[in-house]
C-alpha cells in the first residue's frame, strides 16, 4: 500500500484491534440478564462470563508482549484476531453457559495477544514525531469503544438476542484483518532472546482465578465458610509462590524495576480495587434495571450511558488534573468519586432488589 491510504492502514489496524478488545469488555453487560434466562445460569457463572475474559487478558499481557518480541508482533496480531473471531462465533453457538465461560477465557487469551501487538504496529510504522498522535488516536478509540459498549449491546440484544453481541465481532475482526494482511512493516532488530516466563504467567493466572472464584462465591457461602477460606488461602499461597519464583528467576515475569516500585504497586492495587467496584456496580445495576424495573436492554444501555460518557470525558480532565495537582491527589479524588457513586447506587436499590439469582438480599 502506498500514499495516504498506506500511511493510515497501520493506524486503522492498531486502533481497530484495540477497540475490539475494549468493546468486548463492556458490550456483554446488557446481554447478561438474557443470557442468564437462556441457560438458567447462576450469579457466579454470569460473573465468570466477564471475569474469565478479564483475568485472561490481565494475566497474559506481559507474556504476549514477549511472544511478539520473539516471533513478530504482526504474526501475533493475525493469530489474536483470528482466534478472537472464532471464539466469538463459538460463544454465539454455545449449548451451555459452561461453553460460554470457556470460550470467553479463550477470547481473553486472544485479546491479550492483540493488545501489545496493536501498539507495536504503531511503533514500527510511524516515526517518533507521528507516534504520539497515533497512540493518542488509539487511546481515544479504546475509550469510545468501551463507552459505547453498553448502548451497542442493548441495541443488539433488544432486536437480535444475546448472541448478537458476539456475532458483531466477526465483521469487526474482518475489517481489521484485511488491512493487516496487506501491512508491510519495517524490520527492527529484535532483543536478545530471553525466557518467556511461562511459570510466572501460570502462577499469576492461577492466583487471579482462585481469588476471583472465592470472591464470587462469598454472597452464597459467606466469608467464614470453609470453602471460602480454603480458596482464599490457596490464592495467598499461589501469590507467595509467585513472589518466591520471581525473586529466584534470572528472567522474572514482572520486570524487577516495576516490582520494586512502591508507586507502581500502589497504583496497580488502587486500579484493581476501583475497577472491581465500578464493574461490579454496573453488573448489579444491569439486573436491577432489567429484572426489577422491567426495562428492555436498549433502555438499560441508555440509562448506563451517562456513566460511560463521563468516563470518556473524564479521561482528558484527569490528564489535566494530573499535570496540575500531581498523581496522588488526582488518584485519591477519582477513588473517592467512585466510592461515593457506588454507595449512591447501593442506596438507590431497595433491599437488594434486582440482585442476580443466588445473591442474597442485604
Distances (CA, A) of 258 to 166, 253, 267: 36, 11, 11
Displacement of CA 310 from its chain's centroid (Å):
19
Q: Residue 33 and residue 10: Cα distance in Å, rounded? A: 38
Give the residue carrying C-alpha cell 511472544: 67
Contact 58, 254 (CB under 8 A): no
pLDDT tens digit sequence for 14-51: 888 888 988 887 888 888 888 888 998 887 788 888 88
**Calpha distance 327→333 (Å, rounded):** 10
Q: Is the pLDDT of residue 111 over 60?
A: yes
pLDDT band, residue 354 (cuts 50/70/90): very low
SS3 166: helix
Nearest to 23 by CA among 158, 144, 157: 144
Helices (H) and strands (E) in the chain, counts: 14, 0
Residue with cell 468493546: 23
Residue showing cell 490528564: 319
In terms of Cβ atoms closer than 10 Å to its own Cβ (0-12, 13-18, 19+), residue 344 is exposed
Tell me the pTM: 0.77
Note the pLDDT tens digit of each residue in 246-305: 788 777 777 777 667 777 777 777 777 777 777 777 777 787 788 788 888 888 888 877
Amino acid at each position: 500500500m502506498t500514499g495516504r491510504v498506506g500511511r493510515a492502514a497501520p493506524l486503522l489496524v492498531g486502533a481497530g484491534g484495540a477497540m475490539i478488545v475494549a468493546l468486548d469488555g463492556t458490550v456483554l453487560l446488557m446481554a447478561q440478564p438474557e443470557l442468564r434466562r437462556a441457560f438458567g445460569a447462576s450469579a457466579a457463572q454470569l460473573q465468570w462470563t466477564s471475569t474469565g475474559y478479564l483475568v485472561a487478558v490481565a494475566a497474559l499481557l506481559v507474556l504476549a508482549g514477549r511472544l511478539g518480541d520473539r516471533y513478530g508482533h504482526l504474526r501475533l496480531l493475525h493469530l489474536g484476531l483470528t482466534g478472537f473471531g472464532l471464539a466469538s462465533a463459538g460463544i454465539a453457538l454455545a449449548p451451555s453457559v459452561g461453553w460460554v465461560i470457556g470460550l470467553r477465557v479463550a477470547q481473553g487469551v486472544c485479546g491479550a495477544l492483540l493488545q501489545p501487538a496493536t501498539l507495536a504496529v504503531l511503533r514500527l510504522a510511524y516515526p517518533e514525531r507521528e507516534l504520539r498522535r497515533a497512540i493518542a488516536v488509539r487511546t481515544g478509540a479504546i475509550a469510545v469503544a468501551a463507552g459505547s459498549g453498553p448502548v451497542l449491546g442493548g441495541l443488539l440484544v433488544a432486536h437480535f438476542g444475546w448472541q448478537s453481541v458476539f456475532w458483531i465481532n466477526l465483521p469487526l475482526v474482518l475489517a481489521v484483518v484485511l488491512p493487516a494482511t496487506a501491512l508491510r512493516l519495517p524490520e527492527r532488530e529484535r532483543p536478545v532472546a530471553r525466557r518467556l516466563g511461562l511459570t510466572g504467567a501460570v502462577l499469576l493466572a492461577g492466583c487471579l482465578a482462585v481469588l476471583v472464584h472465592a470472591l464470587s462465591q462469598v454472597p452464597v457461602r459467606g466469608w467464614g465458610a470453609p470453602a471460602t477460606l480454603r480458596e482464599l488461602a490457596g490464592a495467598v499461597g499461589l501469590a507467595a509462590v509467585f513472589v518466591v519464583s520471581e525473586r529466584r528467576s534470572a528472567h522474572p515475569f514482572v520486570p524487577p524495576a516495576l516490582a520494586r516500585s512502591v508507586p507502581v504497586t500502589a497504583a496497580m492495587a488502587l486500579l484493581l480495587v476501583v475497577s472491581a467496584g465500578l464493574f461490579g456496580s454496573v453488573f448489579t445495576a444491569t439486573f436491577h434495571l432489567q429484572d426489577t424495573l422491567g426495562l428492555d436492554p436498549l433502555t438499560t444501555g441508555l440509562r448506563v450511558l451517562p456513566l460511560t460518557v463521563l468516563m470518556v470525558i473524564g479521561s482528558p480532565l484527569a490528564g489535566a488534573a494530573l499535570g496540575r495537582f500531581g498523581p496522588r491527589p488526582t488518584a485519591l479524588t477519582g477513588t473517592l468519586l467512585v466510592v461515593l457513586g457506588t454507595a449512591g447506587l447501593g442506596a438507590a436499590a431497595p433491599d437488594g432488589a434486582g440482585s442476580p439469582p443466588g445473591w442474597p438480599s442485604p
